[in-house]
């Protein structure tokens, strides 16, 4: 499930009012999320969650569910 915080970051960055995010949602299915805006969304997520992704981690992602998992994994490793 996509967290409310992640949903808010994406909506804010893409200037969207609402969108029905699911684990299987692809970036290309979200209005305004294309190759030109992709990196700005990622940077915004990094800032909000205070994480720094590796290129391969981002390039490997298939959908929003995997992005959420990556953020969760980073957050839990920080707690440890």
Partner 1 sequence: MLFNSLRFLIFFPIVTTAFFLLPCRWRWLLLLSASCFFYMAFIPVYILILAFIIVADYVAGIAIERAQGPRRTHYLWLGLAANIGVLFIFKYFNFFNENMDALARLIHWNYPLGALNIILPLGLSFQTFKAMSYTFEVYYGRIAAERHLGIYALYVMFYPQLIAGPIERPYDLLPQLHAEQQVDWGRIGRGLQLMLWGFFQKIVIADRLSAMVDQVYNHPGTYTGLPVLLATYAFAFQIYCDFSGYSDIAIGAGQVMGFNLMANFDRPYFSQSISEFWRRWHISLSSWFRDYLFQPITFLKRNWGNWGVTCALTITFLATGLWHGANWTYVIWGGIHGMCIVLGLWLTDVRRAAVAALKLNHFPSLLRLLNVFITFHIVCFSWIFFRADSLQDAFTLIRCLPGGWAAPLGTPPWHWIFYLGLTRWDVLISVAALLILLGAHLDQGPGSLRQRLSAQPVWLRWPLYYAGIATVISFSTITRKTFVYFQF
- Gap between the Cα atoms of 63 and 25, Å rounded: 6
Cβ at position 42, least distance to partner 1 in Å? 7
Nearer residue to partner 1 within complex by CB, 1 or 54: 54
- Gap between the Cα atoms of 42 and 27, Å rounded: 11
Interface with partner 1, residue 56, by CB under 8 A: yes
- Gap between the Cα atoms of 32 and 12, Å rounded: 11
Interface with partner 1, residue 40, by CB under 8 A: yes
- Of the candidates 11, 16, 42, 51, which one interacts with partner 1 according to CB under 8 A? 42
Residues binding partner 1 (CB under 8 A): 34-36, 38-40, 42-43, 55-56, 58-60
């Amino acid at each position: 499930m996509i967290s409310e915080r992640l949903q808010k970051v994406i909506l804010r960055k893409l200037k969207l009012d609402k969108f029905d995010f699911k684990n299987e949602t692809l970036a290309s299915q979200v209005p305004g999320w294309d190759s030109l805006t992709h990196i700005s969304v990622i940077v915004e997520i990094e800032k909000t969650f205070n994480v720094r992704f590796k290129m391969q981690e981002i390039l490997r992602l298939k959908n929003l569910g995997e992005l959420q998992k990556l953020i969760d994994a980073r957050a839990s490793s920080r707690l440890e």
